[in-house]
Amino acid sequence: GLVFLITCKERLNSRGSLVPVYRFVHPVVQHCLASRHVHSTWGEERCPVKRVEELVVSANYQPLMPFYAEQRTDSVTLHLSSFSEAEARAVAALLARSPKFTGLTFAPAGIGQNFVAFQLLISALACNTQLQKLDLTQNGLGSLGAQKLQQALEKHPTLQELCICNNHIGCAGAAHVAELLKLNTTITALDLAENSIGNQGMMSLLQGLAANSVLQWLSLQHNHIGPECEDNIWETMDLVDMGSATRLLDARSNRRGLSEKFTTRKISPPPAAEGALPPLPSSRRMLRTTL
């Protein structure tokens, strides 16, 4: 049916500036027009919204997100410290509709304690094709959360940086991350610090690392990994063909006796002095230095 304009006038906002006020019979039209006003005045004093996060956390602005997401033409990065079901729906709308949504950070937001909101996020991530950075630091995801992330991100076409440090994923979660590494071909940086994966989780993770030739940086700090894994790590690093790239494993602050740094960068032997014996063959010509 027809949609009729009821009123259109200006009023003073909280900063003393005049802003247009529209009233329509159908709220969808109201939300669409309001989002157009926000987009057209973005960065100006008369714009009622100063940060994209306000469209997510404010109940007044959340209905505008689906429309605003389609109109935004420059890169969008969200930094959120809370995550309710309503906020999850707004983020899902941005993930689904914005062609420029490249970064999402929840650090911390208690995502692991809100199953419905987390499931909405997972469903949106599985359908997204633009996100480049995802930071879920300290959100209590656990091993189940790691499994859900694996299923959502294993075929993601653009994600480059993933941070899930301090989420208590344990050795079971590390196994799910290993499966993610086997299938994902875009992630180049992964932060797994402070997840208590231990030796068992490290051994599972090595299976994923052996099948992955894209990951360049991996943080394993504070994971209770012992020197028993040392040789297995070096052998796995030997197996991977990274081409011209380099893979770095940061293993600081684990159990005593484990090297702090592992890298695939080969060391070229120095030229032999005239008359010197040739060097003994070695299968582990790696750079093994502390950070």
SS3 225: coil
Q: What is the structure's pLDDT at 11?
A: 57
Between these two residues, 62 and 232, which has the higher pLDDT value?
Answer: 232
Residue 25 has pLDDT above 60, yes or no: no
β-bridge mates for residue 19, sequence order: 11
HSE-CB of 239 using CA atoms within 13 angstroms: 13
Mean pLDDT for 229-234 is 96
Q: What pLDDT, on the 0 to 100 scale, is given for residue 31?
A: 81
How many Cβ atoms are within 10 Å of 18's Cβ, its own excluded?
11
pLDDT given at position 154: 95
> Of 83-92, 167-176, 177-186, which gets the smallest average pLDDT?
83-92
- Over residues 102-123, the pLDDT tens digits come to 999 998 899 999 999 999 999 9
Determine the average pLDDT of the residues in 41-70.
88
Residue pLDDT, tens place only, 91-104: 999 898 888 889 99
Contact 114, 148 (CB under 8 A): no
Strand order in the sheet with 101-106: 76-80, 101-106, 133-135, 161-163, 189-191, 217-219, 248-250, 261-263
pLDDT at 147 (0 to 100): 97
Between 144 and 271, residue with greater pLDDT: 144
As a residue count, the chain comes to 291
Q: Which residue has the tokens 């006038």?
A: 9
The residue-averaged pLDDT of 233-241 equals: 92
Q: What is the mean pLDDT of residues 127-135?
A: 94
Residue 127's pLDDT is 92
pLDDT of residue 4 exceeding 60, the answer is: no
Q: Cis link prior to 108 (omega < 30° from 0)?
A: yes
Least confident of 34-38, 113-117, 250-254, 287-291: 287-291
Phi, psi of 104 (to 5 degrees): -140, 125
Encoded tokens for 259: 């090297």
CA distance 38 to 35: 5
> What is the percent of the chain where pLDDT is above 70?
82
pTM score of the predicted model: 0.81
**pLDDT score for 9:** 53
pLDDT in tens, 210-221: 999 999 999 999
DSSP character for 278?
A: P
Q: Give the pLDDT confidence score for residue 271 in this predicted structure.
A: 52
Of the chain, the end-to-end C-alpha distance in Å amounts to 68
> pLDDT tens-digit profile of 267-282?
444 454 555 444 444 4
Tell whether the model's pLDDT for residue 224 goes beyond 70: yes
Distances (CA, A) of 35 to 52, 65, 72, 83: 12, 8, 10, 22
Q: How far is CA 125 from the centre of its chain?
A: 10
Residues 6 or more apart whose Cβ sits within 8 Å of residue 211:
181, 182
CA distance 285 to 32: 62
